[in-house]
Chain A
């Protein structure tokens, strides 16, 4: 039994309650009475992983089935990892404290590219070979899902099968299939072949990839009769009636998002051209106000959380937003529960909404104009005007706010120095607005924070063809921005590390040949790449150089419209024709209507057999 061994080490590490389980609402079953054991792994720390909604949904969903047992596993923080390795403690599930090596499935949810090395590290901590071909029939099946698997190719060597699209149905189908085949004593290969016939399952070893002389993909061809040529993503048709947990595991230690979360809608009508989530989660589906209120109530009661958040890509696009807020705030104010509303659009910002937000607490406001000029905002289809930004800020200042945070991206397609200077000008205009406003909070000064990320072109977006700006270009852009800010006392600028963004771009748009680089980087000590204190840029660059990986080829190259992308055999229902059309519209600096106003013909309506909005 590992329990005593683990307990003996816990007082030597930071935040030990992360490693021992036993949290409220965690599910413990009798292992002799279940057919399939699933280790749900989040390849980052407990604090990050426990905040992830998808894991909470699938954890509850699987555990509702009497014959399945799903446990949680996170990447141990390096202090505990060291002790685990020193004391021969293998990676274990938090519910049973059994080694995950004994489980039937090990499943990773992959939310961002920078966790790839952690996946390898966790498999290694589990004492399993990291490469799928080296794992034998008596070892768990390693599966992965989540947004990043829309281009799973850089992980093809490590994962037995990928789950493409939404998981609520396909996970259960997969586990049922496994339960049946396990009883029949089937081999791993037989199971993978049967799994490949389920819609949404992609078995990478059943496909051969060939390359052209210039390094681009020539073809991706199935090498097994059970594997379909094109793997279609799974979509939940009716979000209002799909399973949603009535309880969350409540951690002891503080986690990143420490609150109840109700998902109110899936997909996004906006079509911002840089945003991968806006395309791969299509179509737009939403819950009714009654469902949202019922789910809020049951979660709050089962967890005791004092805060609930309405979550989605764009919560203000909920049709019944007003009814929902009204209905909810009655319950939440009676129960002293804070209602938080992240992801509200600037153009939907109203006095009523502001009052709602203020009930929670008067923290700073965050807006995301993404680009500094109207021209560039049109290019990215952000569909927000300067007037709308100014109106929202004025409302906020009238309401007593004295700090505003603005998110931008640097290196967007077609961006010029004028667009960069536009960021500074916008911030200066907001400063003027504050000091000219007679209703501003007296005796207080304004603080504007500009936070700049580096644009990363992503698969299944109209910008998948676009190159990422080079390091030199980004350095130049940062300099231009700093030089054009006059009110240095009031306006503070920060950036994400662009050395991280480059790795992100390479991994996001990479192919199978990157598996070796990920393997070598992990072997050279790379892990927790999304954490500044652990990110080893030089090590990654060394590995790329050693293996002859050309970063320009993956990240900084314009890809022609007819190039076969490494992910082309996966179908997210967004057609190539649509992406090309949108890319051209972007270059002509024109916007596209949102889905509710007018269908732009992205292709997803085909998947649901009719129009996404209104009648066919």
Chain B
């Protein structure tokens, strides 16, 4: 059977941010099945729809350009696929485009996030706390690894703050973090570290992943 590899770009927002990574796989498999596109099944004893997500998204984070790899058994019009898939997506999941994959998953190097912080203290004060943290020599956190147990690592060199903006009652931080196989620091790590170091309790946090980039800085696609 022919197998044509494809990569979908999708958005995960609204109530769908509470779908965990494992549940997302099941949810997408079912949505694809309902859509009746000529999807490719794994050829084992117990065939299932082949799906792969190059980069997991943390629970609670909005994804603006997430990726999902699948395959079809015949040549299809990509626009038509998008239309068919979207008819069967549940609330909060939306396919933006479908195309041939360009890069390999292992080429993923960074992800960009836009994070809005809300707290009882003013955005201005939150910003100065952030600046204070970023002026520290080292920002050490405990990171668990399978082989070495818990190790301390300095994440300061990996926190690449691209911009900050003071909104009426929120502080917006746009940050680039390492992602992919070599080193993965998700937005929650940054949020938790900021909270720990600054001793600020955030009443609301809205984080969204806006871009996934290759090691060489190109947009992943």
**Residues on A facing B (Cβ under 8 Å):** 7-8, 10-11, 15-17, 20-24, 250, 252-254, 301-306, 336, 338, 360-361
Interface presence of B88 (CB below 8 A): yes
Q: How far does the Cβ of B35 sit from chain A's closest Cβ, in whole Å?
A: 8
Across-interface contacts of B48 in A (CB, < 8 A): 306, 336
The 9 closest A-B pairs by CB, nearest first: A304-B30, A22-B15, A304-B33, A304-B34, A24-B90, A16-B18, A22-B91, A17-B18, A11-B60
Whether the pair A252, B23 counts as a contact (CB closer than 8 A) is yes
Interface presence of B47 (CB below 8 A): yes
Whether the pair A303, B30 counts as a contact (CB closer than 8 A) is yes
Whether the pair A20, B34 counts as a contact (CB closer than 8 A) is no
Q: How far does the Cβ of B95 sit from chain A's closest Cβ, in whole Å?
A: 15
Whether the pair A250, B90 counts as a contact (CB closer than 8 A) is yes
Distance between Cα atoms of A605 and B30 in the complex (Å) = 43
In the complex, the number of residue pairs spanning A and B with C-beta atoms less than 8 Å apart equals 68
Whether the pair A16, B47 counts as a contact (CB closer than 8 A) is no
Q: How does the 8 Å CB contact mask read for B67-83 relative to A, with 1 for contact and 0 for none?
A: 00000000000000000
Across-interface contacts of B47 in A (CB, < 8 A): 336
Return the chain B residue nearest A250 by Cβ: B30
Distance between Cα atoms of A459 and B177 in the complex (Å) = 64
Whether the pair B59, A254 counts as a contact (CB closer than 8 A) is no
Given contacts A10-B60, A336-B47, contact A305 B14 (CB under 8 A): no
Distance between Cα atoms of A11 and B32 in the complex (Å) = 27
Return the chain B residue nearest A28 by Cβ: B91
Whether the pair A252, B14 counts as a contact (CB closer than 8 A) is no
The 8 Å CB contact of A11, one of B34, B45, B59, is B59
Interface presence of B46 (CB below 8 A): yes
Q: How does the 8 Å CB contact mask read for B11-32 relative to A, with 1 for contact and 0 for none?
A: 0001110111011001101111
Given contacts A8-B204, A11-B59, A302-B34, contact A21 B23 (CB under 8 A): no
Distance between Cα atoms of A338 and B204 in the complex (Å) = 44
Whether the pair B41, A22 counts as a contact (CB closer than 8 A) is no
Across-interface contacts of B217 in A (CB, < 8 A): none
Across-interface contacts of A306 in B (CB, < 8 A): 29-30, 33, 48
Given contacts A10-B60, A16-B59, A361-B46, contact A254 B23 (CB under 8 A): yes
Q: Which of A7, A17, A304, A336 gathers most chain B CB within 10 Å?
A: A304
Given contacts A306-B33, A336-B41, contact A22 B23 (CB under 8 A): no
Q: How far does the Cβ of A534 sit from chain B's closest Cβ, in whole Å?
A: 24
Known: A306-B30, A336-B48. 17 other contacts (CB 8 A): A8-B203, A10-B18, A11-B60, A22-B15, A22-B92, A24-B30, A24-B90, A250-B27, A250-B30, A252-B20, A252-B27, A253-B23, A304-B31, A304-B32, A306-B48, A336-B41, A361-B45
Across-interface contacts of A253 in B (CB, < 8 A): 20, 23
Distance between Cα atoms of A91 and B31 in the complex (Å) = 30
Return the chain A residue nearest B58 by Cβ: A11
Distance between Cα atoms of A302 and B34 in the complex (Å) = 7
Return the chain B residue nearest A21 by Cβ: B15
Distance between Cα atoms of A22 and B27 in the complex (Å) = 13
Distance between Cα atoms of A21 and B16 in the complex (Å) = 10
Whether the pair B19, A252 counts as a contact (CB closer than 8 A) is yes
Q: How far does the Cβ of A167 sit from chain B's closest Cβ, in whole Å?
A: 28
Distance between Cα atoms of A73 and B26 in the complex (Å) = 23
Return the chain A residue nearest B22 by Cβ: A254
Q: Which of A17, A303, A360, A361 gathers most chain B CB within 10 Å?
A: A17
Given contacts A10-B18, A361-B46, contact A22 B90 (CB under 8 A): yes
Q: How far does the Cβ of A338 sit from chain B's closest Cβ, in whole Å?
A: 8
Q: How far does the Cβ of B56 sit from chain A's closest Cβ, in whole Å?
A: 16
Whether the pair B20, A17 counts as a contact (CB closer than 8 A) is yes
Across-interface contacts of A7 in B (CB, < 8 A): 18
Distance between Cα atoms of A304 and B60 in the complex (Å) = 25
Q: List 26 A-B contacts (CB under 8 A).
A: A10-B18, A10-B60, A11-B59, A11-B60, A15-B20, A17-B18, A17-B20, A17-B23, A22-B92, A23-B90, A24-B31, A24-B90, A250-B90, A252-B90, A253-B20, A254-B26, A301-B34, A304-B29, A304-B88, A305-B33, A306-B29, A306-B30, A306-B48, A336-B41, A336-B47, A361-B45
Across-interface contacts of B22 in A (CB, < 8 A): 254
Distance between Cα atoms of A15 and B26 in the complex (Å) = 14
Distance between Cα atoms of A306 and B20 in the complex (Å) = 20
Q: How far does the Cβ of B60 sit from chain A's closest Cβ, in whole Å?
A: 5
